[in-house]
Amino acid sequence: MQSDSLIGAVVDTRYSVIARLGRGGMATVYRAHDARLDRDVAVKMMHPYLAEQPGFVERFNREARAAARLTSPYVVGVYDQGVWDSPLGPQAFLVMEYVAGPDVRSELTRLGSFNLGTALELTRQILAALAAAHHAGLIHRDVKPENILLTSPLPPVSVFQRPEIHAKVADFGLARAASSVTTASTTMGTVAYIAPEIVTNQKAGAPSDVYAVGIMLYEFLTGSLPFHAATPIATAYQHINAPMPPVAEHAEWLPPAVDSFIGLLTAKNPADRPADGAAALAALDDLVKATPEEGFMRRIPVIPTQPAPPAATRRLESATRLAAFPPPQATQSLEDAPAGTATRSAPAAGLLPKQAGSPPPQHASRTGKKSPLTRKRRVVGWLTAILIVLLAAAGAWYFLIGPGHRVAIPNVAGKPYASAAATLKDAGLSPLRSDEYSDTVAQGAVVGTSPKAGQSINPSQDVTVIVSRGVEQVTVPDVSGMTESEAKAALTDARLAMSVTEAYSETIPEGSVISQNPSPTSEVDHDSTVSVVISKGRQPIDVPSVIGDTKDDAVAAIDAAGLQVTVTEDFSDTVDKGVVISQNPASGTVYKGDTITITVSKGPEMVEVPNVRGKTEAEARQILEDAGFKVEKSVLGGLGWDIVYSQDPAAGEQIPRGSTVTLVMI
């Protein structure tokens, strides 16, 4: 055991130990004075055996350096670290900011509970510290009231965000460094705040720290933990399986958003919690903005924690003491005592056994007038004793079998009603069944009792056993064709949530519901989500350009774009047959199902060559040009007759319009 023998020692030639502040499973914390900077600091001295663990010192130093990088005002600052060759052997130590105030556990014990404003402000500061740590890649792993230090005690009644409320989170980095040497027993030491995933697969992450904050917020408000059982293992399994009890059970005035926020932080699945301290802090900011100012001052009254025996034991002990109280003794006054005797209390006359040879009792008065007074006192003494015994008996009857008798209500949550009723009857209580819907307890199993388990009541008082009817079912309304806002309102009225996706529709107007899942009239859990598809209107499509494509390729491209196609044909002297000459529209945006018209080339137009033999040049040229041909001539011989002797191509041939016809003139 590390003792106070280190007080007065100088650690690493710099830190003079002043006093021991506390001892934990892995370290002892001392208040020390930093000679170099002339300030008081806290020195956390790790136990010597930890230095013998392989790689511990290296991991400790690495995590300490990481923690020292945190700059949040809500984190206990880390100033220095090292290994001291102490008289007890090598000891890793950490030098931290000295925080003069108490820890939150002490304040919670002193005050019993915190008002809503104080609880939320403490939670805000803790989450701010965790946000900085998570951003730096550090996971605390041991978030609990003992590790939250205050710069000064909390006032009995705190106003929200009062400046004197200043919390600092301690032990960043140490939890991760110590995790490699943590035993099952030390893990169970903080089981009250342990996240389910740590119990099931030993994996801790930023959501695990967030979970612990949710448990602490519940404790800040109610003064008690949500999960506590006879053994650490049983408590751990409550974290995994038991539903989070609502704080509103203790305070009807509490805004529902507070329980929703605690439920968010303590979701069983870490994926359902805020991803880290920053995300949780953002959710808390939303809660604070939505909370009425007057609500911050309200508090669940809790008597501060004081060690005391159970109520039934106290009543039984009181009755026992009362019954055993001795009758009062007669008192002999100075004037009644024989001369020369000291004034003192003496047993009543006649109550002591007569000793052999002793003289008969002497009366205090020679005249005998005192004897009736003595007898009167004796009678009064006996009557008083009898009265006390009767009162003791009456008290014992009142508390043990009368109206004051109390029986602790056993915990029957999760049992079938028949089994729960039998357990209550065995305890001398009268069960009264009440069926209610439950989102977390299977149909037919007991949700809880009213009054709650653990409370003590008179056996004449009924115990209402709340039996689960299972998850309440509701009918899904038909929201098809509604606008998005109308659909959301209809589903909200049915106590259902809505998720939205969008899709194009050629028939449903933009902004209206195309479809929904589950379908209308389905029966679903009351908190289910209905997926609705909202129309984005007709789907716009860029017009594909198909000019120059073959007819088949053009039609395929237009079909693939979701458009209709109309084909026309025309002659072209420049575009090959079967190739698209033009399209309408040629570019821009249209909608699915619209029509694109394309014109496909039939090739050049073929025209029959007219017969111009025997015609003059002028006549022949006119006829051919009117038919769409070009004309050239050649002269045969030199007769000068100006008569067409022949033509090429010959009359009657089909040639493309615009072709050249050559005239041979004589």
Is a pLDDT exceeding 80 seen at residue 5?
Answer: no
Strand ranges inside 494-543, DSSP E: 497-503, 513-517, 523-525, 529-535, 540-542
CB 424 within 8 A of CB 448: no
Whole-number pLDDT of residue 54 = 67
Q: Which of 498, 491, 445 is nearest to 467 (CA)?
A: 445
| pLDDT band, very low/low/confident/very high, at 359 (cuts 50, 70, 90) | very low
CA distance to 41, 48, 410, per residue, from 19 (Å): 11, 19, 46
375-379, 381-385, 509-513, 593-597: least confidently modelled range: 375-379
Q: Find which of 3-17, 18-32, 292-306, 559-573 is predicted with most confidence, using mean pLDDT.
A: 559-573
CATH topology of domain 104-297: Transferase(Phosphotransferase); domain 1 (1.10.510)
Whole-number pLDDT of residue 277 = 96
Active site residue 142: yes
Q: According to the CATH classification, is domain 540-601 in 3.30.10.20?
A: yes
DSSP secondary structure letters along 116-180: HHHHHHHHHHHHHHHHHHHHTT---S--SGGGEEESSPPPSS--TT-TT--EEE--TTHHHHHHT
Is a pLDDT exceeding 70 seen at residue 364?
Answer: no
Determine the CATH number of domain 4-97. 3.30.200.20
More confident: 27 or 319: 27
Strands 540-542 vs 589-591: parallel, antiparallel or unpaired: antiparallel
pLDDT one-digit tens code per residue, 99-120: 989 999 999 999 999 999 999 9
CATH topology of domain 473-535: Trypsin Inhibitor V; Chain A (3.30.10)
Whole-number pLDDT of residue 398 = 56
Compute the distance between CA of residue 315 and CA of residue 395 in angstroms, rounded to an integer: 9
Is a pLDDT exceeding 50 seen at residue 336?
Answer: no
CB 451 within 8 A of CB 411: no
State phi, psi for 603 to the nearest 5 degrees. Answer: 85, -175
* Ramachandran region, residue 564 (left: φ > 0; alpha: ψ -120 to 50; beta: rest): beta
- Residue 471: CB atoms within 10 A of its CB come to 18
CB 427 within 8 A of CB 410: yes
| pLDDT band, very low/low/confident/very high, at 392 (cuts 50, 70, 90) | low
Compute the distance between CA of residue 148 and CA of residue 102 in angstroms, rounded to an integer: 9
pTM (two decimals):
0.47
**Same fold? 473-535, 540-601:** yes
Whole-number pLDDT of residue 396 = 59
Percent of the chain having pLDDT more than 70?
A: 80
Whole-number pLDDT of residue 181 = 40
Q: Which of 48, 47, 35 is nearest to 9 (CA)?
A: 35
Sheet order of strands, 462-468 included:
430-436, 462-468, 446-450
Q: Which CATH class is domain 407-468?
A: alpha beta
pLDDT one-digit tens code per residue, 476-494: 999 999 999 999 999 999 9
List CB contacts of 476: < 8 A, sequence separation 6 or more: 494, 496, 516, 518, 519, 520, 521, 522, 523, 524, 530
Q: Helix or strand or coil: residue 492?
A: helix
Whole-number pLDDT of residue 84 = 87
| pLDDT band, very low/low/confident/very high, at 266 (cuts 50, 70, 90) | very high
Is a pLDDT exceeding 60 seen at residue 178?
Answer: no
pLDDT one-digit tens code per residue, 57-93: 777 777 677 778 888 899 998 888 888 888 777 888 8
CB 412 within 8 A of CB 449: yes
Residue in 80, 142, 171, 209 annotated catalytic: 142
Is a pLDDT exceeding 70 seen at residue 185?
Answer: no
Is a pLDDT exceeding 60 seen at residue 40?
Answer: yes
Whole-number pLDDT of residue 1 = 41
Helix residue ranges, H only, 401-524: 417-426, 484-493
Whole-number pLDDT of residue 397 = 58
Compute the distance between CA of residue 603 and CA of residue 616 in angstroms, rounded to an integer: 33
Whole-number pLDDT of residue 376 = 64
pLDDT one-digit tens code per residue, 214-259: 999 999 999 999 998 888 888 988 999 999 999 998 888 899 999 9
Q: Which of 295, 313, 298, 570 is nearest to 456 (CA)?
A: 313
**Mean pLDDT for the stretch of residues 596-625:** 93
Is a pLDDT exceeding 80 seen at residue 528?
Answer: yes
Domains of the chain, by residue range, sit at 4-97, 104-297, 407-468, 473-535, 540-601, 606-665
pLDDT one-digit tens code per residue, 298-327: 899 888 864 433 333 333 333 333 333 333
Strands 523-525 vs 39-46: parallel, antiparallel or unpaired: unpaired
Whole-number pLDDT of residue 356 = 36
For CA atoms 264, 265, 267, 273, the dihedral sign is positive
Token pair 């389905």 in the structure block, residue: 522
List CB contacts of 85: < 8 A, sequence separation 6 or more: none
The secondary structure element, H or E, covering residue 591 is strand 589-591
| pLDDT band, very low/low/confident/very high, at 7 (cuts 50, 70, 90) | confident
List CB contacts of 361: < 8 A, sequence separation 6 or more: 349, 350
The four Cα atoms 559, 561, 566, 570 give a dihedral, to 10 degrees, of: -100
123-132, 378-387, 643-652: least confidently modelled range: 378-387
Helix residue ranges, H only, 329-369: none
Whole-number pLDDT of residue 361 = 40
DSSP secondary structure letters along 375-434: HHHHHHHHHHHHHHHHHHHHHHHHHHTSTT--EEPP--TTSBHHHHHHHHHHTT-EEEEE
- Residue 571: CB atoms within 10 A of its CB come to 15
More confident: 550 or 397: 550
Q: What is the pLDDT of the chain when averaged over all its residues? A: 82
More confident: 135 or 360: 135
Whole-number pLDDT of residue 401 = 54
pLDDT one-digit tens code per residue, 617-638: 999 999 999 998 999 999 887 7
The secondary structure element, H or E, covering residue 185 is helix 184-188
CATH topology of domain 606-665: Trypsin Inhibitor V; Chain A (3.30.10)
Joined together, the tokens standing for residue 31 give: 């208040």
CA 248 to chain centroid? 17
Q: Which of 284, 248, 133, 290 is nearest to 273 (CA)?
A: 284
- Residue 116: CB atoms within 10 A of its CB come to 25
pLDDT one-digit tens code per residue, 202-214: 888 999 999 999 9
Q: Helix or strand or coil: residue 89?
A: strand
